[in-house]
Amino acid sequence: MIEASRRPVLIAGHGARQATGPLHALAERLNAPVLTTFKAKGLIPDSHPLGAGVLGRSGTPVASWLMNEADLLIVVGASFANHTGIAPYKTILEIDDDPAAVGRFDAVSAGVVGDAALTLAALLDRLGATQTEDQRPAVAARWAIWRAEKARRAADERGRGVSAAAVFEALSRHLPENAVVTVDVGNHAYSLGRYLESKGQPVLMSGYLGSIGFGYPAALGAWAAAPGRPVVAVTGDGGFGQYAAELTTAVKYGIPVKHVLLDNHSLGKIGKEQLAAGFPVWHTSLHNPDWAAYAELCGATGIKASRRDQLDQAMTRLFAADGPAMLHIEQDPELV
């Protein structure tokens, strides 16, 4: 199937995290783009000539376009949940180490049961002559279109706070290359998947479970697992508000989590779901403290930004701060 394809793409899920070497090698052998699920964001840098970003509801039009143009999807360690956006009507080669996962939701053209790294290495070893097109120019062209659109969205400012595109454009530039990123549940998570350009930093999330409040406690856990690496938590006000006292834990133990909090004064995702279901927005507004001032009261560094032109200086301060620090961003709730 691979040898007969002309425009294959690789779709890597969370199950491919320990197979980055053979995954990249197969992509380069085939000149095939690598799309990731949201759970696998960062598995390939977005700067890689074959890196196409996230596919699905939290994804980029780059990944979506390349999947639509493909004649073969090589799917490695992905769940095929609705959020992943993997098109079931395409020719699919699925690789998974769980026999029950192969074709679980829709029939696939072929399934291989095996460890991702071993299976990809075996495929590389046995692969004969191929007739695949070099898709690097297509990847570069779609990224150029998407980056122009992201820049337009980042520049959109109505005096009601900062756009999500502007927040993640700034974070993309300031994020340490060896950082671990944790993300909570809400509109900000969709925006992170869509706008943040990863240099290979892993993103930890609660799967597709909607476990609001995950982001900051997960950052404490990430620090405990890898205390030498920078840890960045990205949350909304709704999720952080449920576990806000955990900031005192970070202060008590000197856990240097850098926290980017997007504050739209509501449970924004719930409001959008209510509207999508044909109902009015009902009881989603939140009464929040000044989060930057709250951080200071807890003994952490508190920084605030309410305009796009404040983001660079604020991000510089955030990552230069000793110990736990929070950047409280007033977000325009409509510019997600």
The pLDDT profile of the chain, 336 residues, written as one tens digit per residue, is 999 999 999 999 999 999 999 999 999 999 999 999 999 999 999 999 999 999 998 899 999 999 999 999 999 999 998 889 999 999 999 999 999 999 999 899 999 999 999 999 999 999 999 999 999 999 999 999 999 999 999 999 888 999 999 999 999 999 999 999 999 999 999 999 999 999 999 999 988 777 899 999 999 999 999 999 999 999 999 999 999 999 999 999 999 999 999 999 988 787 788 888 899 988 888 899 999 999 999 999 999 999 999 999 999 999 999 999 999 999 998 888
Residue 156 to residue 180: CA distance in whole angstroms = 29
| DSSP-based three-state secondary structure for 233 | strand
d(C-alpha 214, C-alpha 226), whole Å: 18
Angle at 32 between CA 126 and CA 118, to 5 degrees: 40
Q: Give the pair of three-digit tokens for residue 46.
A: 């977005």
In 3D space, the residue among 73, 63, 21 whose CA is nearest the CA of residue 38 turns out to be: 63
Q: Measured between alpha carbons, how far is 21 from 121 in angstroms, rounded to an integer?
A: 9
Residues 6+ apart with CB under 8 A from 320: none
Alpha-carbon distance 85 to 78, whole Å? 11
Alpha helices in 18-60 (DSSP H): 20-30
Domains of the chain plus CATH, in order, are 8-139 (3.40.50.1220), 155-330 (3.40.50.970)
Phi, psi (rounded to 5 degrees) for 95: -120, 125
DSSP lists the bridge partners of residue 204 as 182
Contacts of 296 (CB under 8 A, 6+ apart): 302
Query: Do residues 187 and 235 make contact, with C-beta atoms less than 8 angstroms apart?
Result: no
Between CA 187 and CA 211 the distance in angstroms is 13
Size of the chain in residues: 336
